[in-house]
Structure 1
């Protein structure tokens, strides 16, 4: 995640970028079904699919409803066909993800799969780190 954010921040200086945690991205799409939201579903979905760089964090942590699987497939398939750069982070093995998405992520002609086997960046030098809260615990 830390490296993906760095890539997004650097690229943002040159073009439009969307960085999103996958479950949050799906929530933003669902929110467009509410007429009071102010943005149409088609508009938001087209923006996500066509943004010059899409950075998706935590693929595989989303609630895998049929709707969520289909929307993610449509995003990945469109970006794959249009050869748009997509940076993805996940703690899941490939066999735990939708095979239709994995086939786009692992196309050796268009993608690079980088496995990072390192200590969690958030825990380095921080013994007071509280798992899941993302910040140090305050002393009493």
Structure 2
């Protein structure tokens, strides 16, 4: 079974488990109330006899079948009304016995009129993204561990001010994130904190319940390339086009070829058209970006993204000098 089928099967199992839990909880609630209020137990027993009474009516060949069926129906409705009244009188909701499904649209079946419910589609996307993120460092960084002291420099006092503003911008972005949030293009030399801050945003947004895909652009492009030419299963490209927030690290690290360039343009342009936010970071200069990529990519990056230009000295080198662990 391939990866896509594994994820689909896992999603169905999760939804079925939700349904079974809702049904079990409803049964337990019913049993509890029946013990507390014997009259409700009696009414439930009477209502449960409805199908038996209908079956008896059918086999009796009574000429007044329609009349008998209507009588059973009215008796059943009256029993339901009495049951609801008893529940409300005793401080319970009228639908207390009904299963509380996670998805009220499909009642936790995963399907509506033979088509996949949106809850199943979203769960498949969530599981796919989790698999994509399984090897990322998304839980290793936070805004709290972003140390501005590394940007103190007597010759360049503006570094700390610049990086404070960038950090604060990223914090506000993460805290106020929605699927309508802006796109971000992080530019600067290696080791200035682009990965740290983009990971911190990704972690915060994930904790809010959004779907987030984070990895280096070369890893994603390699996966898409393998899938495109049938060397592996999965549909990484579709996931990247649909996820709530996409974070592409290290633009410019990928080999230069037409397939990668067209794929990068497809991802950037499609997400812009869908209004979905993307964060891209790069260690190469604006001039290198302009010489490496076509005008369609360059114009979108510099006109439709908020550009954050990082300043400072390579923090990774400073940490190594101080004997600290890099993140």
Decide which structure has the larger Cα Rg and report it.
Answer: 2
SS of the residue 1:64 aligns to? coil
CA displacement at 1:128 relative to structure 2: 7.6
Q: How does 1:45-56 map to 2 (within 5 A)?
A: 45-56=237-248
Work out whether residues 2 and 121 of structure 1, in 8 Å CA contact, stay in contact via their aligned partners in 2. Answer: no
Change (3 A) 1:19 1:31: same
2:301 counterpart residue number: 105
Q: More deviation in 62-71 or 77-86?
A: 77-86
SS of the residue 2:306 aligns to? coil
> TM-score with structure 1 length normalisation?
0.79
CA displacement at 1:35 relative to structure 2: 4.3
Q: Find the partner of 1:73 among 241, 257, 265.
A: 265
How many residues align? The count is 126
Please give the alpha-carbon distance, in whole angstroms, between the structure 2 residues aligned to 1:27 and 1:89.
Answer: 18
The structure with the largest helix share of the pair is 2
Please give the alpha-carbon distance, in whole angstroms, between the structure 1 residues aligned to 2:310 and 2:258.
Answer: 30
1:117 aligns with 2:315: no
Please give the alpha-carbon distance, in whole angstroms, between the structure 1 residues aligned to 2:296 and 2:276.
Answer: 17
Change (3 A) 1:33 1:111: closer
Give structure 2 stretches of 5+ with no counterpart. 1-194
1:138 counterpart residue number: none
Please give the alpha-carbon distance, in whole angstroms, between the structure 2 residues aligned to 1:128 and 1:61.
Answer: 28
Give structure 1 stretches of 5+ with no counterpart. 136-140
Please give the alpha-carbon distance, in whole angstroms, between the structure 1 residues aligned to 2:288 and 2:274.
Answer: 25
Work out whether residues 212 and 245 of structure 2, in 8 Å CA contact, stay in contact via their aligned partners in 1. Answer: yes
2:107 counterpart residue number: none
Please give the alpha-carbon distance, in whole angstroms, between the structure 2 residues aligned to 1:13 and 1:21.
Answer: 21
CA displacement at 1:36 relative to structure 2: 6.2
Change (3 A) 1:81 1:34: closer
Work out whether residues 20 and 57 of structure 1, in 8 Å CA contact, stay in contact via their aligned partners in 2. Answer: yes
Please give the alpha-carbon distance, in whole angstroms, between the structure 2 residues aligned to 1:89 and 1:76.
Answer: 13
Structure 1 vs Structure 2 CA RMSD: 2.1
